[in-house]
Structure formats: structure tokens, C-alpha cells
Structure 1
Amino acid sequence: MTRDRLAFEPRVAAASLSGASDAAWAKAAIPHVGAAFLGGLAVDESTREAAREMVQTRDREEFLPADPFAFADQQLDMLADAPLVAGVNVRSSSLAPLERIAEICADRGAICEINAHCRQAEMCETGAGQALLSDPDRLAEQVEAAAQAGPNVSVKVRTEVDGLDLPAIARQVETAGADMIHVDAMDSEGVVAQIVAATDLFVIANNGVRDRETVREYLAYGADAVSVGRPSDRPAVLTRVREATEAWFEADETATGEATQ
């Protein structure tokens, strides 16, 4: 199954934080994580302009290199020998730049993660980020374009958009070629179980992952892994999450083995 093929160990990912999630950040999370998503990286002119506006008006950090493609290639090269699966979280309102980043990811054995998550108005006005959830056909088009370039494709989504049918969107992006879905569950953790039931996507659950209780809640809903966002630079948090995740899957393997005896 797809989710088995994509499993990483430990089943903890460091999640992208715009302007902070680079190769050095990912390396610092070793050995607590099995995957790290760099970014978010705006790759076409409209999303780059939105990122510039967000820096000016919201005092945000953003990656704004002169050449985002060279930047992605350089950052992934720095992780070539790192014992983790790398990914790049990408914001784009057009297909050609997304395809170019996807090719870089494919060449580096990295995951191309399409950002359908960023909720800042400046980014949504370009048609990228969370705006893609309101236009799942465009989201599926982005997934198909990225998948055709050859990498494993993830889609990062959020749950609190009014009227959103995330399981249906998950099925659509899976049909378009996605391998993973990275779910920011907010206060709708049960959506994770609905997506697990609806698809064969590898499901990474995110939001509030800090300790044993939060890890167990998401994994009990069927998530294949969890991710840590804001405290991803705090070793104490990462240690707790890794230990809880490893304990969960060790117990699950033990129970499965006993049931087959």
C-alpha cells in the first residue's frame, strides 16, 4: 500500500515554518524526526510578491531568495546525506514553477508538498495556499502536474474552512497522484479518521503535537505519522513526541504479532 511504502522512522516530521525551515533547521531536528518539510517557499512571481507583502505588513519571516529554484536545490543538497526524508513545501499560483520545483525534488529524492494551507489573505488572493481548498479542481491540477515530474507528492491542508469536505478533497488529490496528505487538524481531529477511511494516502497529522497525549490522539484516529510545527526547534518537545510515537507503533506491532499467533 502507498502508506507503507512512504513510512519513515521515527514517524515524526518537522513541519515547515515559513522563513525558518531550512536545511540547518532540519539537521538540528535529527535524531528526533524521520522527515522534515522545508519552506514554505513561494515560487512564482505572484506568490513571491504576496510573501514580500507579508514580510512588510505582518512582520513575518519568509524565504525570498533571488532564485527560489537554486535555493531549493541548495537546501536539499545540504540534506543529501542526512538520515531523514526531506520535503519542500511549495506555494504557487501557476503550474510551470511548481513543475520545476517538483523536478528538483524528484532529482533529490525529496517530497514535493503543495501548500493548500497558508491562510494569509495576501497569499490566498493569488489563488495559492488555503484558496486551493475552495477550488479542489485547481488543487488536483497542481497535484497532477507535480506528480508527473516524478517525486512523491504531499498536500498540506487545514480543517477549519467553512463547508470544507476534506475527505472528498483527499480522494480527489489521491486520484490526481498525491501520495501523502498533511492535515492541520485544528479543533477537528476526527477528520483525520475520516481521511484515513476514505483514502490510501499516507496521513501526517499536525496541530498541537507536543506530548504523549496529543500523539496518541492522532495515532488513534489512524494517522501514519505526526508532525511538529512551531516547537520543531525545541529538542525537549521533539524528544517527547518521538518517544510517544515509537511507543505507540511498538505496541501496535506487538499486538499485531500476538493476534497472528
Structure 2
Amino acid sequence: MFEPRVALASLSGEADASWARAVESHVGCAFLGGIALDGRTREAARAMADRDRSEFLPADPVAFVDAQLGALADAPLRPAFNVRSATLDPVEQAAVVCQRHGAIIEINAHCRQDEMCAAGAGESLLREPDRLAEFVAAAAATGATVSVKGRAELADVSLPDVARTIEAAGGDGFHVDAMDSESVVADVADATDLFVVANNGVRGAETAREYLSYGADAVSVGRASDKPEILEEIRATTADWFAEEVSP
């Protein structure tokens, strides 16, 4: 899905093209966003912004996706965009844009903010596999590469089952926020042939190796995404790991 096997994880209201370009030589992928696409999620995002959360709220969110991906056209990484929606049409529109730019579209089944979950997006999709499958299938039908981001530690959700849902619907990847349950990455990796990106607490070689040992295909970095020295350490770690895997 991308090389080197280290990504920048989306940071709501902060992860834009300029953020990615600042460290573009150290990573293989940058997940921009998240961006609220439809009326319900935009209303939720405005409410979240009113209580001092950072949110992207452009007048035309799909045009924003297009412009941001265009700004990375010559960047030495694969761009991706994390999207939040309660309805299918805007996801399809954003997926068409991502496909045109050779970018990954990432369905956000991760946001746990009350407003976003009440709107029918974010984490709520993990508890509604049929709806999640509809979003993945609609995005995949455009020819775009499709990932889903979700989180661990929901007592009523099996992430391996979610992975199987994503794969059956035509998805390509699962971006797993392991929370404090790092070994769940192994359960997900064993469940399907999806490209698994492990997230949460990746701060250097040790944490990267732990996730890779559980079967992750790549790791992503969130809060340390603006620290080139950390990204370079993780990049070197992933390169060494996969070089050892293919060596005779």
C-alpha cells in the first residue's frame, strides 16, 4: 500500500498538506483529515469546535480534499484522507477524488466524540457492521484504495470481525488504534489479508518493532508526527524489519 512502512496518522483540524510536507522525506504515507463530509457530521464538527477541538470546516469539504491532495502531487509519499460521514454520497464523491490523485480514502470508524457518534459516524460504525460495509463498498466501487480506521477496547466490538467485514466489502486496509491493547493487532492481522497499519504510542524503534512483531504491515505516528528524528528512527526500523523478512 505504501513504502516505507511508516505513516502519519490524521490529527483532526491539524493534518493538512503543509503538515505532511514538513516531514515528507521520512514517511511513506500521510493520512490527512479527518474531514466531516455531510450535513450531520459537519454539524457535529462545529459543535466539537465550539468546545475548542480543532476541526477542518471548509465551505466545500470535497473540494478541500481535492485541493489538499493536489498540494501533495509531487510529494515523495502516498497521500490519504480520513473522512467522516453519516451518508454514502459524499463518501463516494471523496473516493472519486482520492482515486484520481492515487490517494487512499480512509473511512473514519474511530472518532469517539459524542457528537460524531450521535450523528452516525466515527466509532458508531464499528457497532454497525452492515453500515460500515456499505461505506467501504461504495468507496471501493470508485476504484479507490480503501482503508478503515478503528479503535480497540470496545467491549462489544470484535476487531477481527470488523476486519473481515472490511475485506468482504472490498476494502484494502485496516488502520488499528490499539489503545493499550497492542496484541489486538495480531488478532486482526491473523483474521484477513488486509494491509494492517498499527497506531497508538509509536514513539521510536521499540514500539514499532512490537507492532511489527504482532504482524502489522506498517505503523503510524500521531502526536510525534512533527518530529523528524523520531520518524527517521521508525522509518529505519521498519525498513530493517522487512528487509530481514525477505532475506534468504
- Identify the residue that residue 3 of structure 1 maps to in structure 2: none
- Identify the residue that residue 107 of structure 1 maps to in structure 2: 100
Deviations 1:65-94 (A, max 9, x none): 011111110000111111111100000000
Tell me which amino acid in the other structure corresponds to 1:10. Answer: P
Cα pair 1:132 1:138 within 8 Å, conserved = yes
Q: Flag the structure with higher helix content.
A: 1
Distance 2:242 2:162 in 1: 28
Question: Residue 34 of structure 2: SS of its match in structure 1?
Answer: strand
Tell me which amino acid in the other structure corresponds to 1:98. Answer: V
**Structure 1 segment 14-25 matched on structure 2, within 5 A:** 14-25=8-19
Deviations 1:135-165 (A, max 9, x none): 1111011101111111000000100111211
Which of the numbers 228, 236, 240 marks the counterpart of 1:243?
Answer: 236
1:253 aligns with 2:246: yes
Offset at 1:252?
Answer: 2.1
- Identify the residue that residue 72 of structure 1 maps to in structure 2: 65
**Structure 1 segment 134-145 matched on structure 2, within 5 A:** 134-145=127-138
Instruction: Tell me which stretches of 4 or more aligned residues in structure 1 moved more than 6 Å.
Output: none
Cα pair 2:106 2:147 within 8 Å, conserved = yes
1:94 aligns with 2:87: yes
Deviations 1:198-222 (A, max 9, x none): 1000000000001111001000001
Cα pair 1:14 1:29 within 8 Å, conserved = no
Deviations 1:170-213 (A, max 9, x none): 10110001000000001111111111111000000000001111
Cα pair 1:210 1:240 within 8 Å, conserved = no
Distance 1:212 1:182 in 2: 19
Tell me which amino acid in the other structure corresponds to 2:179. Answer: M
Deviations 1:213-260 (A, max 9, x none): 100100000100000011111112212211221222222222xx1xxx
- Identify the residue that residue 224 of structure 1 maps to in structure 2: 217
1:29 aligns with 2:33: no
Offset at 1:96?
Answer: 0.5
Tell me which amino acid in the other structure corresponds to 1:203. Answer: V
- Identify the residue that residue 51 of structure 1 maps to in structure 2: 45
List alignment gaps of at least 5 residues for structure 2: none
Q: Percent identity?
A: 62
- Identify the residue that residue 110 of structure 2 maps to in structure 1: 117
User: Which deviates more, 28-37 or 235-244?
Assistant: 235-244
List alignment gaps of at least 5 residues for structure 1: 1-5
- Identify the residue that residue 12 of structure 1 maps to in structure 2: 6
TM-score w.r.t. the length of structure 2 is: 0.98
Tell me which amino acid in the other structure corresponds to 1:220. Answer: S
Deviations 1:36-75 (A, max 9, x none): 0100000001101111100112x11110001111111000
How many correspondences in the alignment? Answer: 248
1:41 aligns with 2:42: no
Distance 2:3 2:21 in 1: 15
Offset at 1:20?
Answer: 0.5
**Structure 1 segment 164-183 matched on structure 2, within 5 A:** 164-183=157-176
TM-score w.r.t. the length of structure 1 is: 0.93
Distance 1:180 1:167 in 2: 13
Tell me which amino acid in the other structure corresponds to 1:56. Answer: D
Offset at 1:33?
Answer: 0.4
Distance 2:39 2:235 in 1: 38
Cα pair 1:132 1:139 within 8 Å, conserved = yes
Offset at 1:114?
Answer: 0.1
Tell me which amino acid in the other structure corresponds to 2:141. Answer: Q
Tell me which amino acid in the other structure corresponds to 1:233. Answer: D
Cα pair 1:38 1:89 within 8 Å, conserved = yes
